Structure 1
Amino acid sequence: MDNINNYMSLERGMCSFANDTCSPLSKDEYNNAMEFFKAFYNCDLHQFHSITKNAFAKMFGYKCDEETDTETCISEMIPYCKSASRIVKTIRLSMDIVQLLMSTFPKLKVIHLIRDPRGMLISRMRTIPALCIKRNDMGLPARAVCGRYDRDIKIGKSLEAKYPNRLKTVLYEQVVEKPFDTSLQIFKYLGLQPKSTFETWMNEHMANAEDKLKESDKRPDNRVQQFSTYRSNSSATMNAWRSKLRFDDVKNVDKECSHLYQYTGYMAVKSQLHLQNLNISLRRSNAMFP
């Protein structure tokens, strides 16, 4: 399998994003993944692939003498790495491997980000064409997405009980709807303090996104805001699937993802008008995800 289109599970092997079929995970694939995380967590930057090492050197190059080579620069960067928080974002690990990482690294903290599967499927159709997700057959990819969610959530609940304050589940929609408040909650969970300029940076970031939205609205094929009063680019992105999926497609996804909806508060769509009216939220707040 091409690893670009797959994720890794300790129990199930290397699994396809498109249909959740899995093949056995080779010992080398497993060892390589674990060695990467071990090196990253311990700031053993010399162990990274040459391309990655060059990226580190460029990121921190201002702290290196211009005449030093990459290896020397990396050596100088290791103390900075060890004094900082190390953060990695991945969509390619199942929670059973996260469980192993948490037991291996006692100070590791995890944020499990969940997104409405209907929006996730549209994103994958756009960014990973090789998945060949067809609009008239959304049941199979929906089963793959929500089956994985169900398994990961089950393991996540056990990890939250076993490792208090080391795993936090966040909805993508929470980040979009309340970006500043949600960000502060994440900072607090990680034991970090945002810079004094953070709120200003976020406001400017959202304003820049607003400008990009205005430009995209000029395109003749843009129907995202047909029934909407939303104005932020992030909200438009969050709800874009509602103008791009047919009601029958959404019904297929809703059928496969009912367990996830019960946990997160996502709501099934009742009709085509219900689907396209962006003034009607399709997420019900609950105690876990207000």
Structure 2
Amino acid sequence: MSLCFHVYFSNQKDSGKIEFLGKGMDRFLSYPLRTTSHVERLRKQVKKNHHILLIGYLGGGTSLLGDILGTRNTSFYLYEPLHYMARFGYFKPGYQCSMKTGNCWKNNQTSDQAIRTVQAIFNCDYDHYNHTVQWWQVRLSGAAGKVNDRNWNISSSRCNRTCLMKYLKLCSHYDSIVSKIPRVSVSLASQLLNKFSNLNIIHLLRDPRAIMNSRNKYDWTPVPGGAIALCNKMADDFLESVKLKRVYPGRFYTVFYEDMVTDPFETFKYIYTFAGYNFNADEQLRINKKTRNSQNIAWGWRNIIDHNVLKETNKACSHLYSLLGYPQVRNIEEIRNRSFPLRLKTGSQEDQWQEDIKDDKQSTERNRKKRRGEKCVGEGVLMGGDGIRCISHFSTFKSVSQ
């Protein structure tokens, strides 16, 4: 693997004098540098953190992803703000739909109210939505770690409106606002992309059989109606996402729960890049702790899923499996067999989209390097006021952009 080391000199007059740095390169790169034209250009290239709207499905892993993105030191997080409007329902343009039956009925008023509430969240307009938020939602938003008041208690329903507002008023103090909202369709959420230039959407997908197994434990949306509703929404959301990626390139990203828990490092590296977050060592350690047992959960549902839940979900969702790359396991014996992977990754439409995204990023990086004259291959590069010099690899380094 080739690495490039960008060293910006603190004194342009001495830029032609390069001292031998040896093993101290990583320490040198971590020193604070005085402002130079190179550093100023670097700062302009650094992306601003994006606001993130996380769309997914009850039992689909949004709590894990929302917690990781939302409880960062520079994120403000709000957990499921539309819960009060429809516990087992969701909204799409002009309609409200049931998660239990899949039936939808025309209701412009509630879908408009839902999108106005979400818009208020990303505007930090807590006066508009604070009456809808309950104490448990604020607790699950990680508020306890962000309200600097030792007497503040969010652990019970005794936390009144004044108590809740201590957290909600912090919204504007954070670089990135994150909200997980499994009660809106992708088509409804897309209306916000024109309203917020700094808003990106993440769509989290998971095997619908795993989702229905999770819901079955709580008797949330029983089969067959719950499975029909789930997979109809997943299909609609996916097809809408295909269009959005064309219309809003770089602002919509699809994540698979299975990838997130079996290969968290690689998956979150792309998620953090998409969100404009710094994927540093502290964040990697935090993610590792939060996903430590997730791989067992990712496989665990296959050992306990009810026969009828599997049968009815397969009936309702078989059309979705090939679209998203999930294996067509037909019975309990096959679902228990680990030779059937969690995802096939054999050319599903979504996998092709992910490859296109990676190719676009790699092409952009190659063009950027070409413009800046970075021609070192298999070597590092020192960039000074007098041009470019290639150097051999060092065992450790720290980028000045981190």
User: For this structure pair, what is the TM-score category when the shorter chain's length is used for normalisation?
Assistant: 0.7 to 0.9
- Pairing partner for 2:113 from 21, 32, 43: 32
Contiguous gaps of at least 5 residues in structure 1:
208-232
Contact (CA 8 Å) 1:109, 1:190: kept in 2 or not? yes
Contact (CA 8 Å) 1:268, 1:282: kept in 2 or not? no
Does 1:262 pair with 2:355? no
Does 1:194 pair with 2:285? no
Look up the match of 2:236: 151
Paired residue secondary structure (2:203): strand
- Pairing partner for 2:340 from 258, 271, 280: 280
* Aligned 1:210-229 pairs, distance under 5 A: none
Query: Which residue type is aligned with residue 143 of structure 1?
Result: I
- Pairing partner for 2:148 from 56, 62, 65: 62
Query: Which residue type is aligned with residue 6 of structure 1?
Result: G
Look up the match of 1:9: 92
- Pairing partner for 2:173 from 69, 80, 90: 80
Higher helix share: 1
Per mean C-alpha deviation after superposition, the further-off stretch among 197-206 and 96-105 is 197-206
Per-residue deviation, 1:206: 4.2
Aligned length: 253
Q: Go from structure 1 to structure 2 and tell me whether the alpha carbon gap of 1:175 and 1:280 turns closer, same or farther (over 3 Å shift).
A: same
Name which one, 1 or 2, has greater alpha-carbon Rg.
Answer: 2
Contact (CA 8 Å) 2:90, 2:185: kept in 1 or not? yes
* Aligned 1:146-185 pairs, distance under 5 A: 146-185=231-270
Query: Which residue type is aligned with residue 62 of structure 1?
Result: N
- Pairing partner for 1:100 from 191, 195, 220: 191
Q: Deviations over 1:61-110 (max 9, x none)?
A: 318999xx7699579735413xx111110110011211212222232100
| Structure 2: distance between partners of 1:247 and 1:58 | 41
Q: Go from structure 1 to structure 2 and tell me whether the alpha carbon gap of 1:160 and 1:62 turns closer, same or farther (over 3 Å shift).
A: same
Q: Go from structure 1 to structure 2 and tell me whether the alpha carbon gap of 1:53 and 1:2 turns closer, same or farther (over 3 Å shift).
A: closer
Per-residue deviation, 1:240: 2.8
Per-residue deviation, 1:272: 3.4
Contiguous gaps of at least 5 residues in structure 2:
1-83, 153-161, 355-402
Q: Go from structure 1 to structure 2 and tell me whether the alpha carbon gap of 1:70 and 1:236 turns closer, same or farther (over 3 Å shift).
A: closer
Paired residue secondary structure (2:90): strand
Does 1:241 pair with 2:323? no
Look up the match of 1:21: 103
| Structure 1: distance between partners of 2:300 and 2:294 | 10
Per-residue deviation, 1:40: 1.3
Paired residue secondary structure (1:113): strand
Paired residue secondary structure (1:199): helix
- 4+ runs deviating over 4 angstroms: 50-59, 63-66, 69-76, 246-249
Does 1:48 pair with 2:141? no
State the identity %: 25
RMSD (Å) for aligned C-alpha atoms: 3.2
Q: Go from structure 1 to structure 2 and tell me whether the alpha carbon gap of 1:110 and 1:248 turns closer, same or farther (over 3 Å shift).
A: same
| Structure 2: distance between partners of 1:183 and 1:35 | 30
Does 1:122 pair with 2:237? no
Per mean C-alpha deviation after superposition, the further-off stretch among 163-172 and 243-252 is 243-252
More relative contact order, 1 or 2 (CA 8 Å, 6+ apart) = 2
